[in-house]
């Protein structure tokens, strides 16, 4: 991997998670050593922050909030520092230690305009229910849902990746699979 910021953005957009692995190897020491010196956290905390910062970077790129990176190393370090400060603020509010998945779930929904606007509840049990529901659909369905909703791939791409005859066939399958998933989740939630 070369220090090519556009390439990093491009690769993350394409769902190439090996790019993140390369960033771990390239910048782990810089960021974790810097954090220990600057904010006085432990090595373990620094590593946790660094990984979360990379995931934050990925989210920003996938959500279209970040198109260019000028200085990747400094940018990531900046996210680390922000996260440390946010974490300290959060710790003052609550002492409860949540699992990563729950933190991410709440954070995504807190930032969602419909949820923040309407004060809708998050239904934490849906984390588990969604996975039980996911188990009820086949592998191809899981991939369509992941590609479409999480990786934001086009139907053309999905058709090519999953060998559908056409983007329209992929679209129909996506609708069918997602309906199946939602229906199953509702059924599990009510049971």
Partner 1 sequence: MSIKDEHRALIDSYLSNTLSESDKADLVRLLEEHPELEELVLEEKRIVTALQASEKAQLKKHLKTVANNTPQKSSGFFPAWWLAAASATLIVSIGYFFYLNNSSLEITFNEYYEPYPAISVQRGQITDINSALKLYSQGKYKEAIEAFGDLTLSDNPTYYLYLGNCYLQTKDPNKAIEIFKTVNRESNDTILKQNAQWYLALAYLKKEDLQQTRKILKEIIQNEGIYAEHAEKLLGKLD
Q: Interface residues for partner 1 in 137-156 (CB under 8 A)?
A: 139, 142-143, 145-146, 148-150, 152
**Nearer to partner 1 (CB atom), residue 39 or residue 142:** 142
C-alpha to C-alpha distance for 84 and 41, rounded to whole angstroms: 9
Binding mask 6-45 for partner 1 (x = CB under 8 A): ----------xxxxxxx-xxx-xx----------------
Q: d(Cα 141, Cα 159) in Å, to the nearest integer?
A: 12
- The whole-angstrom distance between residue 20's C-alpha and the CA centroid of its chain comes to 12
* Token pair belonging to 189: 């939630």
Give the shortest CB-63-to-partner 1 separation in angstroms: 5
Indicate whether 47 belongs to the interface with partner 1 (CB under 8 A): yes
Contact yes or no for 9/68 (Cβ under 8 A): yes
d(CA 31, CA 47): 8
**Nearer residue to partner 1 within complex by CB, 5 or 104:** 104
Q: Does 188 bind partner 1 (CB under 8 A)?
A: no
The residues in 67-126 that bind partner 1, with binding defined as CB under 8 A, are 99-102, 104-105, 108-109, 112-115, 117-118, 120, 122-123, 126
Total number of residues that touch partner 1 (CB under 8 A): 72
Using the CB atoms, write b or e for 83-94: b if 16+ within 10 Å. bbeebeeeeeee
Relative orientation angle of helices 5-13 and 43-62, to the nearest 10 degrees: 70
For partner 1, the closer of residues 44 and 92 by Cβ is 44
* Min CB(95)–partner 1 separation in Å: 21
């Amino acid at each position: 991997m070369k220090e090519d910021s556009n390439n990093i953005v491009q690769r993350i957009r394409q769902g190439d998670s090996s790019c993140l692995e390369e960033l771990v190897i390239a910048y782990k020491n810089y960021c974790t050593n810097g954090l220990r010196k600057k904010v006085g956290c432990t090595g373990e905390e620094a590593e946790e922050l660094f990984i979360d910062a990379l995931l934050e970077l990925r989210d920003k790129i996938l959500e279209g909030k970040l198109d260019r990176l000028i200085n990747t190393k400094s940018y990531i370090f900046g996210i680390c520092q922000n996260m440390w400060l946010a974490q300290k603020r959060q710790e003052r509010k609550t002492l409860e230690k949540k699992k990563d998945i729950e933190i991410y779930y709440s954070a995504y929904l807190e930032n969602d305009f419909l949820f923040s606007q309407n004060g809708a509840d998050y239904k934490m049990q849906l984390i588990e229910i969604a996975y039980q529901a996911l188990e009820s659909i086949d592998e191809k369905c899981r991939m369509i849902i992941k590609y479409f909703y999480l990786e934001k791939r086009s139907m053309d791409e999905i058709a090519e990746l999953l060998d559908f005859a056409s983007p329209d066939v992929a679209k129909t399958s996506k609708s069918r699979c997602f309906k199946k998933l939602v229906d199953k989740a509702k059924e599990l939630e009510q049971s």
